[in-house]
Amino acid sequence: MRLVLATILALTAAPLITQGVLAQTAAVPGAPVKARIAAGTYAVDPNHTQVTWQVNHMGFSMLEGQFGASGGSITIDPAKPNATKVEVNFAIDQLSVTAAPFAGHLKSKDFFDAATYPTAKFVSTKVVATGDKATITGDLTIKGVTKPVVLQATFVGAGANPMNKKLNFGFRATTSIKRSDFNIGAYAPVVSDKVDLTINAAFAAQ
């Protein structure tokens, strides 16, 4: 009898659980629907845009840090994705790591010389989009040195921000660079010259 009752309860609850999951999914404002983006120019959202870097530290561990955005924009038309243009500035002088002394060393002339070069910049030169993915070629400037880089980007989602009802959307991208190419190669190869970058870029209607 208990088994029969348990079975009945499970069958009764299943549709309710399914409806709850579907309701939560439908409520996600950033569902991946690019059609929600109207053609135009959108400002970078500095509160939700970041570059995370990773290096191999002396073969002992992987070390990460982060830069936030200080400005930028994207010009995009979903009907012409390959015409997209993006430019983002990153606040080198506000870099984030695990300890203040380490942050100070990275900001020194040994590495970024943040007093002289407080920002870095990425400017796209070519976009090749396929579905929700894109290869973005552009110029990266760090410490006054400009080099071409290629980002592998994925569209994350678009929708109305529930806080201000304005359109928000974003991309996630990855690439690798050699820090020595930008005159920040101190201690290589003991600390890896290769740096893996993960970029989370958010944009918003004004």
Domains identified in the chain and CATH numbers: 34-205 (2.40.128.110)
Residues of the chain falling short of pLDDT 50? 1-26
Q: What is the pLDDT of residue 35?
A: 56
Overall pTM surpassing 0.75 (yes/no)? yes
Q: What is the pLDDT of residue 29?
A: 59
Distance CA 20, CA 25 (A): 9
Q: What is the pLDDT of residue 30?
A: 62
Q: What is the pLDDT of residue 47?
A: 94
